[in-house]
Chain A
Amino acid sequence: MKKIKLYIPVFLLVLTVIACKIDNYPATDAQLYGTFLDAETNEPVEQDIIRGSTIEFIEHGYASQTKQVMIVKNDGTYRNNLIFANTYTITPVRGNFVPTEPQEVTVKGETQLDFKVQPYIRVKDVKIEKVGTKVVATFKLQQTVINKVKKIGLYAHPEPAVGEPIRTVLADQEINTVSDPNKIYRLEIDVPSNSSNLKTGNQYFFRVGALIDAPESKFNYAKAVRLTL
């Protein structure tokens, strides 16, 4: 009986010791970052942080070929600080630019990878200002493909991440034509008739965007503008 009393703790101790393997897998050890750049002007291509362009990447060395996804900030930059050093197949997909080919990239340490893309539309000469009780945006469109422009819009939100997916007020217009590079487009938001979302005296961000008529395309934008109403 005494022996059993001794054996049980010893047995449990042995079990405990062999049950736990120390998790000594390596942590992520690399960073990947970069910017979507307009191949022609070398300027960043404005994006949406949700429901915008995404970057798919597949890590080499595994049979599953699982696609992982990164999102892009509004200013066209992205950064992933928790990535393993390895070789990856990386493709920007479902974006606001002409589709690009997958590329094989070796990520090691701090790795910069910029994507030179051809944005579908450049939103140019943007002026957003308060005129009386209205916020008025004027802009020109320069499209780089022959497709029609489906929609243009002026979006407002209290946060700088404003865009078509993040907005509390919008003024948009289906145009469904090939745009004229010389035409000045005009959109306006009436402040009083949106009084529950646009309060006089507060600051809001306004951004102009245009959507090309292509499968899974995303909006092209100009930079957001901050206005005090």
Chain B
Amino acid sequence: MKLFRCILLLPVLFSLSCGDVLDKQPLDKLQGENLFSNPEGVKLYMANLYYQLPIEDFTFFRQGFNWNTGDPNNGGFAPAMVTDEAVHTEFGDFIGNDDFQWWDQGYKLIRDTNILIDIIPTLSVSEDETKALVGESAFIRAYAYFALAKRYGGVPLITSVQKYEGDVESLKVPRSTEKETWDFVLKECDVAIQNLAESWPGGERRATKWVAYALKSRVALHAASLSKYGERAPISGTAVDQKLVGLDKSAAAEYYKAAIEASETLINSGKFSLYKPSPASPEEAAENYRKLFEDPNIALNEVIFIKGFARPGAGTGHNYGIWYQPNQTANGWPHPGRMNPTLDLIDAYESYTDPGKSAPVMTTEAGNDINDYNGFSASKNYKRYDDPAGIYKDKDARLWATAVLPGTAWKGQKIIIQAGFIKPDGSAQLFGGEPITANGKTYYPFGAADRTQYSGFDTWGGNNTRTGVSFKKFLNEGVNVAPGWNQTVSDWADFRYAEILLIYAEAIVESGSGKIEEGAKALNDIRRRAGHTKDIPLTIDNVIRERRVELAFENKRFWDLVRRREYHTLFNNSVRHALIPVLDLRVSPAKYIFIRQTIQRLNPATFDYKQYYRYIPGVGSNGLVQNPQY
């Protein structure tokens, strides 16, 4: 009887055992369905996509993006240092084959975005929210493919999630032509423009219609310049024959038109304007410009898209504050002072006395030797100054806000940059040596007795500028950054209205279409904000010079030289230059003279045609056609 009862129990046990009691879900991970079924989950996922966005900000280096996790020590070698904007205090590197690659990470972001794009139609959210998701994901994909196109030319266009079903070959997507790739990026921009709202309710830093227009302006100008100037650097090979790299000259017109239309829409929207557009004096202009980069959040009328660095720490802070302070304000960090703006950049800034052209710094009374970089010559009649920054008087306010000039104040200190002296007997003692006594006073080669009291030319630690000026733009004067990794939290302005104005002006003058007066106004509005009072005509030279000075160190110059195919002309066995301040003891009281010369310990650099495209990694397994000469 007992046994029978037990047997009766068996079916009950069986029925229980077939439940999914054992199909446990991991408790420490979110499942895909759960993530996307909850609006907060979508937001979380979106935050990760934005994080991966290839924004060329404070954490963008030749090694890649978000270079602020793990060990971020790259010596502070910024992208500007492979252009004519700056050099590093120590490293003489130029562009290596493995630099500025973004392949695996690019396709990872695209896959992550495609996962979202595939799932949007299945989400139970309102129509507005769906639209926003469609627009945002298109914006992210456009941004990603833009970063790929400018590096590799035509790339595989993968527009939905690939699934591995046992056949690797079916996953291999061949490269599209370069034309198709740029057109795809522009089309994605249009999808973003059509679907995104003008702003986010909480003012979140997410893509809006306007950010998408800004991206489109930048993309279209890049493609247009490649079309127009590609023939300056002809290359050959399979990738060229199959049009995987290279754009036809005839495409320039449509791309310039797209750039004009997109930037014009932004200009006419009335939503944006320049921050403090009409300063009373150059001094005021310099201060306004400096503040704009110290904290772009004070200028939300000008800044279209910001990437924030919220709190000190790995992945959330950056390292500009430690690498680029002048030596005197290192605040305990062992290796400051690493960004050295070149004389080549300094020369480009206009002078208020003779506006409308670059104003190379004249160091002698004769003024006919700006191409003489041979160093001190006793026979020359150098201009003498009491003020170590005297030679920069009348130079564009933005120079004063971009670089720390010798003898100027920074963080309450007088920044001393001195390369040596001319002894009373007329011989020069430069870049070191013993102090001397002259006229009853002791003079030190670098301007002060102790190495914490000057910021120039001493090679110790690679901490002192070798170009004659130190770096200022983006640095926060009021904050003493702690001497550790990722402690700087200033925000990055990815798109500024000033760039849009310059895109507009360049597209008009390069295409010879559009409203020339409006283009000239765009150019001169920016100059007026910098304290200029005399308008200049719209010419390509004026626009490019304006880009160089207005957008200096915003990681634009590298791509400007690439898209306009000017890199190989500018860097053909080329050296970069310094303007060294030297104390002249031949006169009493001693005065400063300045010498134009090649930068010490820096090799000439050459850019090859093939470097206009990066090599594609892994062609052995992905089967893609490699770029020429790699």
Q: Is B598 a contact partner of A196 (Cβ separation < 8 A)?
A: yes
Say which residue of A165, A194, A195, A216 sits within 8 Å of B235 (CB atoms): A216
The CA of A64 and the CA of B626, in the complex, are separated in Å by: 12
B394 in the interface, Cβ–Cβ < 8 Å? no
Q: Is A196 a contact partner of B373 (Cβ separation < 8 A)?
A: yes
CB distance from B612 to the nearest CB of A (A): 13
The CA of A164 and the CA of B597, in the complex, are separated in Å by: 22
Q: Is B573 a contact partner of A167 (Cβ separation < 8 A)?
A: yes
Interface residues of B in 76-102 (CB under 8 A from A): none
B554-598 to A contact mask, C-beta < 8 Å, 1/0: 000000000000000000010000000000000000000000011
Q: Is B606 a contact partner of A165 (Cβ separation < 8 A)?
A: yes
A16 in the interface, Cβ–Cβ < 8 Å? no
Q: Is B573 a contact partner of A216 (Cβ separation < 8 A)?
A: no
Q: Is B236 a contact partner of A215 (Cβ separation < 8 A)?
A: yes
The CA of A196 and the CA of B575, in the complex, are separated in Å by: 13
The CA of A196 and the CA of B597, in the complex, are separated in Å by: 10
Interface residues of B in 594-611 (CB under 8 A from A): 597-598, 606, 608-609
Chain B hits for A166, CB < 8 A: 573
Q: Known A94-B236, A216-B234, A216-B235; judge A195-B606 contact (CB<8 A).
A: no
Interface residues of A in 192-215 (CB under 8 A from B): 193-196, 215
The CA of A194 and the CA of B597, in the complex, are separated in Å by: 12
The CA of A196 and the CA of B577, in the complex, are separated in Å by: 14
The CA of A55 and the CA of B284, in the complex, are separated in Å by: 60
The CA of A193 and the CA of B379, in the complex, are separated in Å by: 13
Chain B hits for A194, CB < 8 A: 374
The CA of A167 and the CA of B609, in the complex, are separated in Å by: 19
Q: Is B608 a contact partner of A196 (Cβ separation < 8 A)?
A: no
CB distance from B202 to the nearest CB of A (A): 55
Chain A residue with the shortest CB-CB distance to B609: A216
Q: Known A51-B608, A165-B606, A167-B573; judge A193-B372 contact (CB<8 A).
A: yes
Chain B residue with the shortest CB-CB distance to A165: B573
B39 in the interface, Cβ–Cβ < 8 Å? no
Chain A residue with the shortest CB-CB distance to B375: A196
Chain B hits for A216, CB < 8 A: 234-236, 609
Chain B hits for A195, CB < 8 A: 374
Q: Is B374 a contact partner of A51 (Cβ separation < 8 A)?
A: no
Q: Is A193 a contact partner of B573 (Cβ separation < 8 A)?
A: no
Q: Is A196 a contact partner of B606 (Cβ separation < 8 A)?
A: no
Q: Known A94-B236, A165-B573; judge A51-B373 contact (CB<8 A).
A: no
Q: Is B606 a contact partner of A51 (Cβ separation < 8 A)?
A: yes
Chain A hits for B235, CB < 8 A: 216
CB distance from A199 to the nearest CB of B (A): 11
A164-203 to B contact mask, C-beta < 8 Å, 1/0: 1111000000000000000000000000011110000000
The CA of A16 and the CA of B373, in the complex, are separated in Å by: 64
Q: Is B608 a contact partner of A215 (Cβ separation < 8 A)?
A: no
Chain B hits for A193, CB < 8 A: 372, 374
Q: Is B374 a contact partner of A215 (Cβ separation < 8 A)?
A: no
Chain B residue with the shortest CB-CB distance to A214: B234
CB distance from A191 to the nearest CB of B (A): 11
A76-93 to B contact mask, C-beta < 8 Å, 1/0: 000000000000000001
The CA of A12 and the CA of B236, in the complex, are separated in Å by: 55
Chain A residue with the shortest CB-CB distance to B604: A168
CB distance from A130 to the nearest CB of B (A): 19
Chain B hits for A51, CB < 8 A: 606, 608
CB distance from B180 to the nearest CB of A (A): 24
B229-261 to A contact mask, C-beta < 8 Å, 1/0: 000001110000000000000000000000000
Chain A residue with the shortest CB-CB distance to B598: A196
Chain A hits for B597, CB < 8 A: 196
CB distance from B372 to the nearest CB of A (A): 6
The CA of A215 and the CA of B628, in the complex, are separated in Å by: 14
Interface residues of A in 210-229 (CB under 8 A from B): 215-216
Chain A hits for B236, CB < 8 A: 93-94, 215-216
CB distance from B546 to the nearest CB of A (A): 26
CB distance from A153 to the nearest CB of B (A): 11
Known: A51-B606, A195-B374, A196-B375. 17 other contacts (CB 8 A): A51-B608, A164-B573, A165-B573, A165-B606, A166-B573, A167-B573, A193-B372, A193-B374, A194-B374, A196-B373, A196-B374, A196-B597, A196-B598, A215-B234, A216-B234, A216-B236, A216-B609
Question: What 6 A-B pairs have minimum CB-CB distances, sorted nearest first?
Answer: A215-B234, A196-B374, A195-B374, A216-B234, A196-B375, A216-B236
Selected A-B contacts with CB under 8 Å, 25 pairs: A51-B606, A51-B608, A64-B620, A93-B236, A94-B236, A164-B573, A165-B573, A165-B606, A166-B573, A167-B573, A193-B372, A193-B374, A194-B374, A195-B374, A196-B373, A196-B374, A196-B375, A196-B597, A196-B598, A215-B234, A215-B236, A216-B234, A216-B235, A216-B236, A216-B609
